Structure 1
């Protein structure tokens, strides 16, 4: 059981502000690769409290306010990890001409116009797509499914795009086809919920994620020569948007 619980705890710790008794931060980075295949399952589990906030708020407020409150809680729980990555990446790609310029801009902690616009559009699209579900339970389930798909997309980037030096690179070396297949297997129950919720919407979300990955991989190779931690995290942010958009379209 420990072989499953500890890697899952590592995944939850990395993707959120959660901490666990007896946690040894000195070993965290070294042991994190063991938790990679649990990222999609951890993403779905972390979306659970956000879904509960949405359902609870929907008992008092209109759905659009409930969604905004839930997304605010989600940003707090996840430390804005993926949103920060999206903003950094878009600032770098928008303002840099060479790979060196892009990476230098991405390291700047200040947010620029490109990052602010990308982050704003992503949040508005995600919120609008959830509101378009027209039902709190459907929106809550879309959040949970999106949590899994987003991290599958993140793992696809980690696996199939050469890693640049840094934390992302140190983790990416442990990702291979076997671990990606296990991640998909662990996420299948959540994907099944999405298929039950809307077969067409789930199919659209997965097709959109696949098309995005093909385009995104080519972009990263052309502009950066690989992927760093921000590029990996931004992929997850894209997945969080695509799933509710797919369900909203069907």
Structure 2
């Protein structure tokens, strides 16, 4: 049983990051992915913790803004810019697509247009500004960890709340249906230590983050069903980045 959870944890890390985790076995994917999904928030926290290292070290040599940008650069490298790419793609699809077919076609297009550039630029700038607004390196580092977990929790909630686009073959279409309410509940229980860390940073901020996250999920579900007919891999990646942004701004706010 413990070995099965070990395989699931390794799969969760491989799925969300570029970290070289050994022991990949494609034959076990269908068996392990259900267990791996509730572990996604902790993988996000791991990425945040690794990104916090250059932030803390950089803050010893440079002002906090420089250290924050170093941290976000490493974070993007660790994940292969997985969520940033999703933000750009979804902004392009929803901004430039006039019909359902247009939007789905743009989502599959690897090129980035003006909506994608602007959307991603603003998202990264807002997140960086929130970390800088925290005022202290240790606080920004802790926010990176909590926000990393919160973003992947919101991604998992999106998997549960929004059905995938019908008749669309993708990795997300094969993974998202495995995310049931039981898995989401387990993920929320596993998130409790990160919740405690967030409450230590700012209890009101953590409460605001969950309120905004719930509101975002309701709005995002309606938007995706209306404009895309469901969720795709890019919409899930967008939800993860939105969650990181929401938690960052909420925890950095002067509440």
* Superposition TM-score, scaled by structure 1 size: 0.97
Is the counterpart of residue 175 in structure 1 residue 176 in structure 2? no
Equivalents in 2 of 1:194, 1:144: separation in Å? 9
Q: SS in structure 2 opposite 1:173?
A: helix
- Matched with 2:222 is 218
CA offset digits 1:142-179 (Å, max 9, x no partner): 00000111011101110110112221111011111111
Distance (Å, rounded) in 2 between the aligned partners of 1:92 and 1:49: 32
Any conservation in 2 of the 1:85–1:234 contact (CA below 8 Å)?
yes
The residue number in structure 1 matching 2:238 is 234
Give the C-alpha shift of residue 186 in structure 1: 0.7
Deviations 1:15-67 (A, max 9, x none): 11012222224544663333111001111112111011111111111000000
32-41 or 183-192, which deviates more: 32-41
Distance 1:27 1:2, change over 3 A: closer
Unaligned 5+ residue runs, structure 2? none
- Given that residues 169 and 228 in structure 1 are in contact (C-alpha distance below 8 angstroms), is that contact kept between their aligned partners in structure 2? yes
* RMSD value, Cα: 1.2
**1:111-169 CA distance string (max 9 Å, x none):** 00001011000000000000000000000000000011101110111011011222111
Gap regions ≥5 residues in structure 1: none
Please give the per-residue CA displacement for 1:78-121, whole angstroms capped at 9, x wherever unaligned: 10000101111110111112211101011111100001011000
Distance in 2 (CA, whole Å) between partners of 1:45 and 1:76 is 14
Counterpart position of 1:108:
109
> 1:133-144, aligned counterparts within 5 Å?
133-144=134-145
Residue of structure 1 in register with 2:200 after alignment = 196
- Contact 2:7–2:32 (8 Å) recurs in 1: no
Q: 2: CA distance between counterparts of 1:71 and 1:137?
A: 15
TM-score, length of structure 2 as denominator length: 0.95
Q: Distance between the aligned counterparts of 1:237 and 1:30, measured in 2? A: 27
Contact 2:4 2:32 in 1 (8 A): no
Q: Is the 8 A contact 1:12 1:46 kept in 2?
A: no
Runs in 1 of length 4+ with deviation above 6 angstroms?
none
Q: Aligned partners of 1:31, 1:247: CA distance in 2, in Å?
A: 33
**Are 1:17 and 2:21 an aligned pair?**
no
For this pair of structures, how many residues does the alignment match?
Answer: 250
C-alpha contact (below 8 Å) 2:33/2:175 kept by paired residues: yes
Partner of 1:2: 3
Please give the secondary structure, in 1, of the residue aligned with 2:164. coil
